[in-house]
Amino acid sequence: MAAAAAIEIPTKVLPNSTCELRVPVIGMGSAPDFTCKKDTKEAIIEAIKQGYRHFDTAAAYGSETALGEALKEARDLGLVTREDLFVTSKLWVTENHPHLVVP
C-alpha cells in the first residue's frame, strides 16, 4: 500500500520586528494519553509525515519531552527542518514566577 501524500496546511503571517513568521493555522495538540508517552512521540512523527508543522504543548500536559524527542527524530530523519516547525506552549499562572521558569 502506498503512503499517503502529506497535505499542505495553510499558514497565517505573523509579522514581528525582524521577519514575518508563517504559522500553520492547523496544529496538533500533544496532551498525551497519560498511560503511554511513547504513543505521543510516535503520533507526532506520523503527524509530521502527514504534513503537520504546528504543535501545541504545555508543562501541565507532561508531553514536552515526547514532543521534543519526536521533533528531533523527525529532523534527524530529514522529514523537516527546525525552520519548518512552530511550537506553541503555555505556562500556567501558578507557575509564572521567575524562580520556577527554566530559561
Give the integer Cα–Cα distance in Å for 40 and 78: 20
Among residues 24, 52, 53, 61, the one annotated as catalytic is 61
Could you tell me which of 52, 43, 48 has the C-alpha nearest to residue 78?
48
The question of whether 52 is a catalytic residue gets the answer: no
Instruction: Characterize the bridge pairing of strands 28-29 and 20-24.
Output: unpaired
Give the single-character DSSP code of 59.
Answer: G
- Backbone phi, psi, residue 37, to 5°: -70, -25
Q: In sequence order, what are the residues at sequence separation of 6 or more whose Cβ sits closer than 8 angstroms to the Cβ of residue 1?
A: none
By annotation, the residues acting in catalysis are 61
